[in-house]
Structure 1
Amino acid sequence: MQVQSIKIADITVPEGRLRDIDPEWAQALAGMFAEVGHKTPIDVAATETGFELVAGGHRLAAARLCKWKTIEARVLEPTGAHRAEELRLHEVLENLARKDFTALERCEALAELKRIYEALHPETKHGGDRKSQATKNKAENQEPIFGFCQNAAQSTGLSLSAVKLAVQIFEGLSRESRERLKGTALAQKQSELKALAALDAGLQKTVLDLIFVEPPQAGSTAEALMLIDGKRPPSPTDRLFRTVSDSLIKLPRASRSAVFRQHKAEILALAKRENWFDA
């Protein structure tokens, strides 16, 4: 792979990039570049009029903030008939190797990896020719996604189950939900994304309305569903009490009794205030 210094003005950024540019991170990188220079080349592909960015959007944005005229770049040379898919595959894998992905971004990247895999291997999209695969493992035949998951696991270092779950989550989320989740705390929590993806699109919207309204009416998908069912979700004090209770129950009986005797007044006052005895 050839590395060369190319003019930044000759680089175009295609639409539909996997990751949006975070202005704050680009500014931080620009500060680093001003101090120590640019250590990792970006990846581009040659076009008829110049170069197209493949990977390294934040590095390119930082170089532009530094007002550099040129930047070091690896010039990719896809040779297959599926040029667009090969370049997109390179972008996805380069991003998946990063450690700062949110759970939502990882799900999106793996779903995009599945799309690319099916484009490059169309026979796998519908499970292929069953007769010609008669000698293969039955599990593979019954699960067309197995080939993709195995390939993705080898490429990313993730387990087969992790890859499959991530794709299921992304495909289960509506387009509107994906957009609303970007940049939020929920985008960091795969367990929340999984719970939300299990709902239909209309219910996803209702849940997110309850979570994102100001002030928030629910702190999680589970709490939002309780509100929708007419139930009272646990208060912060309830959650704290359950956490403490779970910890206490793991102690020997004598230790539990000692803790209760020592904090009996506080525990009873809290229970009365929160109506635990009436719940």
Structure 2
Amino acid sequence: MTTIHVPLNLIDIPADRLRALDAEWVEALAMMMRQEGQLQPITLRPSGDRYSLVFGEHRFAAVARNGWADIEASVREMTDDEARLAEIDENLIRRELGPLDRALFLAERKRVWERLHPQTRDGGDRKSSEFKAKNQIAKLAMRFSEEVAEKVGLSERSVQRACDIASGLRPDAVTDIRRTYLANHQRDLEAFSKLSPDSQRIALEKLTSGEAETIKAAFAEPGERIGPPPVTSEKMLGLWSRMAAKEKRRFLETIGVDADAHDRIVNPRRREVR
């Protein structure tokens, strides 16, 4: 791969980047670059007499943070959609994304991919147009999942689940979701995405205000206990009756019962041989 050094003042950053800059990561990269130099080039595409960033915004910001005048870059001719796919795949591959960002990135990738792979209609009269359309959409979804799984190392099921999550989120809710634990909690984010728009709004109001800490707590009845059920004496006796003698003795030792009492407790019906 051929690279060149491009002045920073000739590079434009598109306004519709999918992720905001992480200031702490920029600072860490800047420090590493001061010690080791720029190890990986960024990727640009020509834009008249200037260049447009495809991916590598954190590296760009780190170079600017260090006060350097130019940056090592690979320059490629790309369409808007090709550049968008490259940006998404770079983030999916190079840096760990939380469940929310992964869902949003994959949903955007699917939208771009579908623009690049428009539906084709098969000829013939044996099937209705409605059936053909549904069948074609299913085939497209499968091809998309297979391609992404191969490129970025996710399972096809993970790709499908992430896209399902993104499709279930209210677009205006994403900013608030980032302020809650949901952004990094796959199972609850998936459950949240299946709620109605009104329920999503209620849940986010409670989560962002601190009234509730989890989705389950947001919809709990007044006085309802949240969390694992208490361990009752009946449950303890049931567990004790199913434990082997060796495990019973180990448990008694753990809670500090004198060793001389172990036999009497473990075998209460045992008669002493006289």
**TM-score after normalising by structure 2:** 0.78
Specify every segment of 5 or more residues in structure 2 that has no aligned partner in the other structure, as ranges: 127-133, 257-274
From 165, 183, 192, give the equivalent of 1:169. 165
Residues 1:51 and 1:200: Cα distance change in structure 2 (over 3 Å):
same
Distance in 1 between residues matched to 2:197 and 2:10, nearest whole Å: 42
1:90 aligned residue: 86
Which residue of 2 is the match for residue 37 of structure 1?
37
Whether the aligned pair in 2 keeps the contact of 1:211 and 1:219 (CA below 8 Å) is yes
Larger Rg: 2
CA gap of 1:262–1:69, structure 2 versus 1, over 3 A, is closer
**Contact 1:249/1:256 (<8 A) preserved:** no
Match of 1:222 among 203, 216, 221: 216
Counterparts in 2 of 1:162-241, with a 5 A limit?
162-182=158-178, 184-213=180-209, 216-226=210-220, 229-230=221-222, 232-234=224-226, 238=228
Change (3 A) 1:201 1:260: farther
1:57 is aligned to 2:57 = yes
Match of 2:46 in 1: 46
Q: Percent identity?
A: 29
Q: Matches of residues 123-134 of structure 1 in structure 2 within 5 Å?
A: 123=119, 128-129=120-121, 131=123
Distance 1:165 1:62, change over 3 A: same
Q: Aligned residue for 2:15?
A: 15
Q: Is the 8 A contact 2:89 2:152 kept in 1?
A: yes
Provide closer, same or farther for how the CA distance between residues 130 and 232 of structure 1 changes in structure 2, counting only shifts above 3 A.
farther
The answer to whether the 8 A contact 1:111-1:167 is kept is yes
Equivalent position to 2:138, from 129, 134, 143: 143
Residue 158 of structure 1: CA displacement?
A: 1.3
> Residues 180 and 207 of structure 2 are in contact (CA less than 8 Å); yes or no, is this contact kept in structure 1?
no
Runs of 4+ aligned residues of structure 1 deviating over 6 Å after TM superposition are none
Match of residue 108 from structure 2: 112
Equivalent position of 2:26 in the other structure = 26
The reply to whether residue 252 of structure 1 matches residue 246 of structure 2 is: no
Q: Distance in 1 between matches of 2:87 and 2:224?
A: 45
In structure 1, list runs of 5 or more residues that go unmatched. 265-279
Structure 1 counterpart SS, 2:94: coil
Q: Distance in 2 between matches of 1:252 and 1:130?
A: 65
Change (3 A) 1:141 1:196: same
Determine helix, strand or coil for the equivalent of 1:122. coil
Change (3 A) 1:206 1:97: same
CA gap 1:262/1:39 in 2 versus in 1, 3 angstroms: closer
Cα distance change, pair 241–74 in 1 and its aligned pair in 2 (3 A): farther
Q: Once the 2 structures are TM-superposed, how far is the Cα of residue 151 of structure 1 from its aligned partner?
A: 1.8
Letter in 1 for 2:148: A
CA distance in 2, matches of 1:240, 1:37: 57
* Alignment check: 8 A CA contact 2:216 2:226 kept: no
Query: Which string of whole-angstrom CA distances, capped at 9 and with x for unpartnered residues, describes residues 184-207 of structure 1?
Result: 432111111101000122211211
Q: Distance in 1 between matches of 2:73 and 2:118?
A: 32
Q: Within 1, Cα distance between the matches of 2:223 and 2:135?
A: 44
Distance 1:118 1:199 in 2: 27
- What are the Cα deviations for residues 214-243 of structure 1, in whole angstroms up to 9, with x where unaligned? xx23222122122xx4462425xx57869x
Matched to 1:109, the amino acid is F
Q: Take 2:94 and 2:103, find their aligned partners in 1: how far apart are those partners?
A: 14
Conservation of the 8 A alpha-carbon contact between 1:7 and 1:71: yes
Alpha-carbon spacing, 1:143–1:25, altered in 2? closer, same or farther (3 Å) = same
Query: 1:262 Cα shift?
Result: 6.9
RMSD of aligned Cα (Å): 3.4
SS in 2 for 1:64: helix
CA distance in 1, matches of 2:176, 2:64: 29
Number of equivalences = 247
Q: Tell me how far 1:110 sits from its aligned partner.
A: 0.5
